[in-house]
Structure 1
Amino acid sequence: MHDIKVIRDNPQTFDHALKRRGLEEEAVWLATTNSRYLAILRVLESWRHKRKIASDKIHQAMKANDTEMVTALKSEVVECKTAIAQLEIEEKEIDSELKKRLEGIPNLPLPEVPDGADEHGNVQHHIFGKKRDYAFTPKPHDDLGGALGDMDFEAAAKLSGARFVVLKRGLARLERAIGQFFLDVHTGEHGYTEVNPPLLVRDDAMFGTAQLPKFADDQFRATRTPTIEESEAVWSAMGLAQKEGRAVTGEDRRRFLDIKQSVGLWLIPTAEVPLTNLVRDSILDEKELPLRFTALTPCFRAEAGAAGRDTRGMIRQHQFSKVELVSITTPEASKDEHERMLSCAEEVLRRLGLHYRVMTLCTGDMGFASQKTYDIEVWMPGQGEGGAYREISSCSVCGDFQARRMDARYRASDGKPRFVHTLNGSGTAVGRALIAVMETYQQADGSIAVPDVLQPYMGGRKAIGREG
């Protein structure tokens, strides 16, 4: 979310940044609409003030038995109420229109982010390791897993449909080992606090990290039918108030929203959502920062915008496991924290002995909430002739974009509250790490060598072959 005051004061800078993202200018419309909104508020306040003065005078006139004055003042109050009612409608309409427009505008890229329209504009930052040579033609992970009998897409399709997988025996344990290894490194060496968050979250949590409202079609929503008691409570909160001729209070609305959201929750697309929202609606002490959280969770994505892409194997699934990294910090420290987060995500891949490259995403390929993003792309030798690089982690700095949507602030040393800066990154995607390990460590007989760092998590097992 953007600060309308900053847009109003720096319209050319704002529009230039939007153009770098390939978007149309917005500053003039936003500033003009905001000016209209402020003008209506001023007029509204003057009418409210006029009504208050007239109401006060009515009491004085009644005490003085001045019926003529009372009648005139009551007429004036009616006039005020009519004007106020109309202005309040206009004020709400413009406010809603302005918020809706602001909610749909992505974050602005930092100056050092390369310009580009799509992934072809991304720039290689650095590379680790090199491609392995094989005395045989490397196979893709789904062929390897199928031959081992440990990766079953047909069984998953019977249970849930396309883009799901059932892992068994050695591969199920290997995926679990990878996730546990990632968590142990990040908590034991990198200073992240492990969190086991809810997998179902409310609308405002998804809004806070910018999955809503723009990307609702990419998410899964779990709903249920309200109970009789809940339905009656909704009526009590909203309908009964109106029936009794009283105004619906803020408490009524909160009660209504609590009930409404309890029957419709979102499955998290990433643990970034609950981890970042841990600081929503709060003012932290600057001494607490940075806060660093990590979690290993299932993640759920509808992949509505990826129809026809990566339909084979485990590359793009509706459900997958991921270790997420989230940092909450001050504006002054966020750039350094971004580099630190990238190094943490890289470290676990280095210990697995995986070859990868780091790409700085261009303006046209960054996520909606990001100011700057590094993608780590791991080499998978079984992905076509010569292999292919596949994204396994994205590390992004978001500035105060998410913090404004969540109202997440800290109290600086001068005593003034300021918005925190948020960062998130994959540390890393466990399913894709499994694929990379399988394809990188495959052997001529179709077995999978277990990397040294994972063997303690596998009970000392050094290879996964066909069992039974």
Structure 2
Amino acid sequence: MYDIKWIRDNAAAFDQGLANRGASPLSARLLAIDDRRRAAIQTAQASQERRNALSKEIGQAMAAKDMARAEALKAEVAGLKEALSAAEVEEKATVAELDAALAAIPNTPLPDVPVGKDEHDNVEVRRHGEPRTAATLGFEPKQHFEIGEALGQMDFEAAAKLSGARFVVTRGHLARLERALGQFMLDIHTTEHGYTEVNPPLLVKDAAVYGVGQLPKFEEDLFRTTEGFWLISTAEVSLTNLVREEIVPEERLPFRYTALTPCFRSEAGAAGRDTRGIIRQHQFSKTELVSITTAEQALEEHERMTAAAEAVLKRLGLAYRTVLLCTGDMGFASRKTYDIEVWLPGQNAYREISSCSVCGEFQARRMNARYRPGEGKSPRFVHTLNGSGVAVGRALVAVMETYQNADGSVTVPEALRPYMGGLTRIEKAA
């Protein structure tokens, strides 16, 4: 969400930021709406001031028994009342129009974000680990759903009977492995990276979804209950809104929150993509990271958060690369985003497993979330960051494909064995 005063003072920079994201310039349109709003306010103020002055004159005319003048003044007051009412209606309408327009505009990218159209213009920052391929494995790797179905522990037909497409039922050791991954991630982030674990609501109100920028633009990507609640598409929604309509002391920042929750997405724009397996599901688990900071802390916190997500993959022995997203591939609320892409031997490709973004004060303005720099100083908007630490389902995919064996079994990574009761290998049940 933007401050219209900032747009008025920085119209060229605002339009350039939108142009970098492939959007048309909007400052002229927005300022025209704001000019109408300001004109309505001025008209209302002038009408009210004139009414106040006329009230005194009417009193004076009545005292002087000049009834003709008093009646004429009363007629003018009646006209001013209509003008005042019309100006107030116009102000309300232009405020609503301006708010709706501002709410639909994506955040402007930071100067160091590469300008580009899509994922082909993203810039690789670093790589870690050696990707496993048929040459290094000694056999042709299978995809996770082939492995899971052969083990008898990944059932898409049962899920389809229950819920339809883009759902899965996992059983036995695979179900435990998925649970182990989430617990492993939470333990790392809370004991080593300073995040506070939160168990937030999965159902939220309109204001919470609007606050992080998912409404109104992305309504079709979300699930809504008949009671008007939204199912969270990520714990970012709940965690970020913990500071909504708050003013916190600066010395308490940064806040760092993490949560392991189910996430729900309609995948409205994903027709025909990743239809096999669990890469793109309507329901999946994710460990989320959220930071609330000052402007001065935000960029360093972004690097710290990304490193925390990468640490999970390092400990699991998974190969990955980190890329800086270009302007055309960033999320709506982001000013800068790193995607972490894990290597999947079965697909012979890197696939996104985490996305870490710094959003500036974009979300804070929508939530009215502020901090007080010091005694007597005016509150400022906090800066918000979010990232996956990481997507549990995709981590399960990466572990299954990376640690698969020629006989169809899956070796359990050493880091997860304490969570698996010491189990070292997942095999098909006898």
Q: CA offset at residue 88 of structure 1?
A: 1.8
Quick one: which amino acid aligns to residue 399 of structure 1?
G
Pairing of 1:287-306 with structure 2 (within 5 A): 287-306=251-270
Q: Which runs of structure 2 are paired with 1:42-121 in the superposition (5 Å)?
A: 42-55=42-55, 57-58=57-58, 67-121=67-121
Match of 1:182 in 2: 185
Provide the C-alpha distance between the structure 2 equivalents of 1:178 and 1:307, rounded to a whole number of angstroms. 28
Superposed displacement of residue 416, structure 1 = 1.6
Within a 5 Å distance, the mapping from 1:33-432 to structure 2 comes to 33-55=33-55, 57-58=57-58, 67-132=67-132, 133-223=136-226, 263-383=227-347, 387-413=348-374, 415-432=377-394
Q: Which amino acid aligns with 1:298?
A: P
Residue 57 to residue 313, structure 1, CA distance change in 2 (3 Å): same
- CA–CA distance in structure 2, aligned partners of residues 160 and 57 of structure 1: 74
Distance in 2 between residues matched to 1:26 and 1:337, nearest whole Å: 31
Q: Secondary structure, in 3 states, of the residue corresponding to 1:422?
A: strand
Q: Which amino acid aligns with 2:380?
A: R
CA distance in 2, matches of 1:77, 1:200: 52
Superposed, which structure 2 residues align to 1:26-37 within 5 Å? Answer: 26-37=26-37
Compute the displacement of 1:422 (Å). Answer: 0.2
Residue identity matched to 2:289: L
Q: Name the counterpart of 1:447.
A: 409
Per-residue deviation, 1:35: 2.0
> What is the CA–CA distance in structure 2 between the aligned matches of 1:6 and 1:103, rounded to whole Å?
15
Distance 1:455 1:59 in 2: 89
Report the Cα distance in structure 1 between the residues aligned to 2:182 and 2:52, rounded to whole angstroms: 64
- State the 1:64 CA deviation: 6.4
User: What is the RMSD of the two structures over their aligned residues, measured on CA atoms?
Assistant: 1.4
Could you tell me how far 1:177 is from its partner in structure 2?
Answer: 0.2
AA matched with 1:275:
L
Post-superposition shift, 1:54? 3.1
Instruction: Tell me the CA shift for residue 350 of structure 1.
Output: 0.3
2:429 — aligned with what?
Answer: 467
The amino acid across from 1:84 in the alignment is: L
For residues 346-378 of structure 1, the C-alpha deviation after alignment (integer angstroms, 9 at most, x for no partner) is: 001100000000000000000000000000000
TM-superposition CA deviations, 1:44-100 (whole Å, max 9, x none): 111122223334555565666654444333322211111112112222222222111
Question: For residues 464 and 74 of structure 1, what CA distance do their matches in structure 2 show?
Answer: 89
Q: Distance in 2 between matches of 1:24 and 1:199?
A: 36
Could you say what secondary structure the match of 1:304 adopts?
A: coil
2:407 alignment partner, SS class: coil
Write the deviation string for residues 308-334 of structure 1: whole angstroms up to 9, x where unpaired.
111110010000000000000000110
Q: Distance in 1 between matches of 2:171 and 2:5?
A: 55
C-alpha distance in structure 1 between counterparts of 2:25 and 2:95, whole Å: 20
Counterpart amino acid of residue 427 in structure 1: G
TM-score (norm 2): 0.96
2:398 is aligned to 436
In 1, the alpha carbon distance for the partners of 2:97 and 2:313 equals: 46
| Residue matched to 1:260 | none
SS at match of 1:264: coil
Q: Give the counterpart letter for 1:273 in structure 2.
A: V
Report the Cα distance in structure 2 between the residues aligned to 1:344 and 1:56, rounded to whole angstroms.
69
Q: Please give the alpha-carbon distance, in whole angstroms, between the structure 1 residues aligned to 2:166 and 2:61.
A: 76
Letter of the 2:213 partner, please give it: A
> Structure 1, unaligned stretches of length 5 or more?
224-262
Distance in 1 (CA, whole Å) between partners of 2:126 and 2:148 is: 31
What SS does the aligned partner of 2:109 have? coil
Count of matched residue pairs: 426
Letter in 2 for 1:212: L
- Write the distance in 2 (CA, Å) between the matches of 1:265 and 1:186: 29
> d(CA) in 2 for partners of 1:70 and 1:444?
101
Distance 2:65 2:247 in 1: 54
Paired with 1:317 and 1:379, the residues of 2 have a C-alpha distance of 19
Hey, what's the Cα distance between the residues in 1 that align with 2:298 and 2:23?
26
Residues of 2 paired with 1:62 and 1:176: CA distance? 84
One-letter identity of the residue aligned with 1:203 = D
Give unmatched runs, 5+ long, in structure 2. none
